[in-house]
């Protein structure tokens, strides 16, 4: 009889495998951080000898959610400046504070972000920000997985004084975390309007050198497209493509202002898009044509963006927003059904990250999973599990979060760090941010 480290049982299991199996009265075997088997509990209890058992009772188990786009440490700016246009929000409120960021501030903001994501069912996230070495430390401590990237700009940042120093820092991060089981790095020029053609080409060459994703904001607003057209003679996507930077490793964040022929161009290049509906709505950026993206054959993931423009990192609320926004903007209730949205939040993110072990629960996949309490009033009664996850769940029904077979959160408790102590540090940081913005402290 084969052995496993853990045999987990629950009322429902959504595998998100190729067949999208939904198994009632299910079990999952974990061995060496990987899924060893999934199936009916009666079969796995008969066929496997576990070192430990975990009966989750009336819960639904599913793959951990994959947050395709964040600025994790910006959780410290949550609610600092709301109800403003994108460029005013950036130039008058965010960038003036960011210029004084320190490693300690970034670390605390990233730890808070990790806590929020663990609590609401995210097990892996992609991040682009400043002083990213501190976000990596937070990921390491918290137990999450992360695809991380130091933001590349045409001007100095709190992490580096010039581009040469920035590239040296990025190379050092790749070397420091080489072979880490949960932390990977990508290359991320911020956007076409904060870089130059030379920087974009250099960054893409660096992504090719390390064979990693190349990520950037693109087509976030119609104004961005107009500015790019006036400055370069091309819309942002054509500009990027003309530089040789549109390829299978390319991941476009937002992609709100893309025309149908541009979607065909993205699909032909096998580039990926990460949709950020709540941030797009809050900043008045527009509605990304997600249904058209999928119809064109584009692989689409889902992300929250940073907590300063969302204002949370909760992928369950992001799924709800994605589905409802598509329907109301298209005046068609059949657009972006629950199953497609759930795919975006799991398999789509894994594909964008080029991390195929994530996004589903099947033999050989990473044992990254979450369990939701089906006794919650808003999840009762249950007829279609995928529908409940997109339209009814809030994320706060999550009872357990596991990454690589390790429990990170269970029934109100975090296992990797002292959450009350973190809150005390965040309160000190809140007073600093408030002072920088003339807010009551």
pLDDT for residue 142:
98
pLDDT for residue 438:
64
Residue ending a domain, among 324, 352, 380, is 352
Cis status of the peptide bond prior to 311, with omega within 30 of 0: yes
**Burial bucket for residue 72 (CB in 10 Å: 0-12, 13-18, 19+):** buried
pLDDT for residue 433:
82
176 and 213 part of one domain: yes
- Flag whether 436 is in a domain: no
pLDDT at 427 over 90: yes
99 and 17 part of one domain: no
* The Cα angle at residue 122 between residues 119 and 126, in degrees rounded to 5: 130
120 and 237 part of one domain: yes
Specify whether the backbone of 406 is left (phi greater than 0), alpha (psi in -120 to 50) or beta: beta
In the 8-state DSSP scheme, what is residue 414? E
CA dist 342 and 173 (Å) reads 32
8 A C-beta contact, residue 138 and residue 72: yes
Q: What is the CATH number of the domain that holds 165?
A: 3.20.20.140
211 and 311 part of one domain: yes
pLDDT at 358 over 70: yes
Q: What is the CATH number of the domain that holds 44?
A: 2.30.40.10
Q: How far apart are the first and last CA of the chain?
A: 62
281 and 377 part of one domain: no
In the 8-state DSSP scheme, what is residue 366? B
pLDDT band at 94 (very low <50, low <70, confident <90, very high): confident
pLDDT at 440 over 60: no
- Flag whether 125 is in a domain: yes
> Sign of the C-alpha dihedral, residues 49, 55, 60, 61?
negative
375 and 261 part of one domain: no
Proportion of the chain above pLDDT 70, given as a percent = 99
Query: Going by C-beta distance under 8 Å and a sequence separation of 6 or more, which residues neighbour residue 132?
Result: 106, 148, 149, 150, 151, 159, 173
- Flag whether 440 is in a domain: no
pLDDT band at 439 (very low <50, low <70, confident <90, very high): low
**204-238 residue pLDDT tens:** 999 999 999 999 999 999 999 999 999 999 999 99
The predicted model gives 261-284 an average pLDDT of 97
Q: Which helix (H) or strand (E) holds 34?
A: strand 34-40
156 and 174 part of one domain: yes
Q: Which of 324, 318, 270, 262 shows the shortest CA–CA distance to 292?
A: 262
- The DSSP result for 77-122, as a single string, is GTTTS-S--HHHHIIIIIHHHHTT--HHHHHHHHHHHHHHHHHTTE
8 A C-beta contact, residue 93 and residue 433: no
- Flag whether 423 is in a domain: no
Q: Which value, to the nearest 10 degrees, does the dihedral of the CA atoms of residues 328, 271, 193, 110 take?
A: 80
The predicted model gives 39-66 an average pLDDT of 98
* The Cα angle at residue 229 between residues 226 and 230, in degrees rounded to 5: 85
**313-348 residue pLDDT tens:** 999 999 999 999 999 999 999 999 999 999 999 999
Q: Which helix (H) or strand (E) holds 260?
A: helix 260-269
8 A C-beta contact, residue 367 and residue 35: yes
* Exposure of 62 in the CB half-sphere (CA atoms within 13 A): 32
Q: Which of 350, 195, 201, 214 shows the shortest CA–CA distance to 271?
A: 214
- Flag whether 143 is in a domain: yes
Range of the domain at 34: 3-63+363-414
106 and 157 part of one domain: yes
Cis status of the peptide bond prior to 381, with omega within 30 of 0: yes
- Flag whether 441 is in a domain: no
Residue ending a domain, among 352, 372, 391, is 352
119 and 59 part of one domain: no
- Flag whether 427 is in a domain: no
59 and 78 part of one domain: no
pLDDT for residue 90:
84
The predicted model gives 153-165 an average pLDDT of 94
Indicate the number of domains in the chain.
Answer: 2
Proportion of the chain above pLDDT 90, given as a percent = 92
8 A C-beta contact, residue 61 and residue 346: no
pLDDT for residue 10:
98
- Flag whether 424 is in a domain: no
Residue ending a domain, among 331, 352, 373, is 352
143 and 216 part of one domain: yes
CA dist 246 and 244 (Å) reads 6
73 and 57 part of one domain: no
pLDDT for residue 95:
85
Mode of pairing for the β-strands spanning 299-302 and 369-373: unpaired
pLDDT for residue 437:
66
């Amino acid at each position: 009889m084969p052995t496993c480290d853990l045999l987990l049982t629950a009322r429902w299991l959504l595998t998100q495998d190729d067949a999208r199996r939904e198994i009632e009265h299910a079990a999952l075997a974990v061995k060496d951080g990987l899924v060893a088997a999934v199936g009916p509990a009666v079969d796995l209890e008969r066929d496997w000898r576990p070192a430990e058992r975990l009966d989750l009772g009336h819960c639904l188990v599913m793959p951990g959610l994959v947050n395709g786009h964040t600025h994790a440490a910006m959780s410290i700016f949550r609610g600092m400046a709301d109800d403003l246009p994108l460029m005013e929000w950036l130039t008058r409120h965010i960038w003036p504070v960011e210029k004084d960021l320190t490693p300690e501030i970034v670390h605390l903001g990233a730890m808070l972000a990790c806590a929020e994501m663990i609590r609401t069912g995210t097990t892996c996230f992609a991040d682009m920000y400043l002083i990213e070495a501190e976000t990596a430390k937070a990921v390491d401590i918290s137990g999450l997985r992360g695809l991380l990237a130091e933001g590349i700009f045409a001007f100095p940042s709190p992490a580096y004084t010039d581009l040469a120093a920035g590239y040296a820092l990025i190379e050092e991060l790749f070397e420091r975390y080489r072979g880490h089981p949960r932390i990977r790095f990508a290359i991320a020029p911020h956007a076409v309007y904060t870089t130059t053609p030379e920087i974009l080409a250099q960054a893409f060459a660096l992504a090719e050198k390390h064979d990693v994703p190349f990520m950037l904001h693109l087509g976030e607003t119609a104004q961005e497209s107009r500015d790019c057209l006036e400055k370069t003679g091309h819309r942002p996507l054509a500009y990027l493509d003309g530089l040789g930077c549109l390829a299978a490793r390319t991941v476009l964040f937002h992609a709100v202002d893309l025309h149908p022929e541009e979607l065909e161009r993205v699909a032909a290049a096998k580039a990926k898009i990460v949709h950020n509906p709540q941030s797009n709505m809050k900043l008045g950026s527009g509605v990304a044509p997600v249904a058209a993206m999928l119809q064109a054959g584009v692989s689409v993931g889902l992300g929250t963006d940073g907590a300063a423009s969302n204002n949370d990192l909760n992928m369950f609320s992001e799924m709800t927003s994605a589905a409802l926004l598509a329907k109301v903007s298209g005046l068609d209730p059949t657009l972006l059904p629950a199953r497609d949205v759930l795919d975006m939040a799991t398999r789509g993110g894994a594909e964008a990250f080029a991390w195929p072990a994530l996004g589903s629960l099947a033999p050989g996949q990473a044992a990254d999973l979450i369990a939701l309490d089906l006794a919650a009033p808003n999840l009762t009664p249950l007829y279609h599990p995928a529908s409940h996850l997109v339209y009814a769940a809030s994320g706060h029904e999550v009872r357990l979060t596991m990454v690589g077979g390790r429990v990170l959160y269970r029934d109100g408790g975090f296992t990797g760090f002292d959450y009350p102590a973190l809150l005390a540090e965040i309160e000190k940081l809140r007073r600093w941010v408030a002072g920088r913005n003339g807010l009551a402290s």
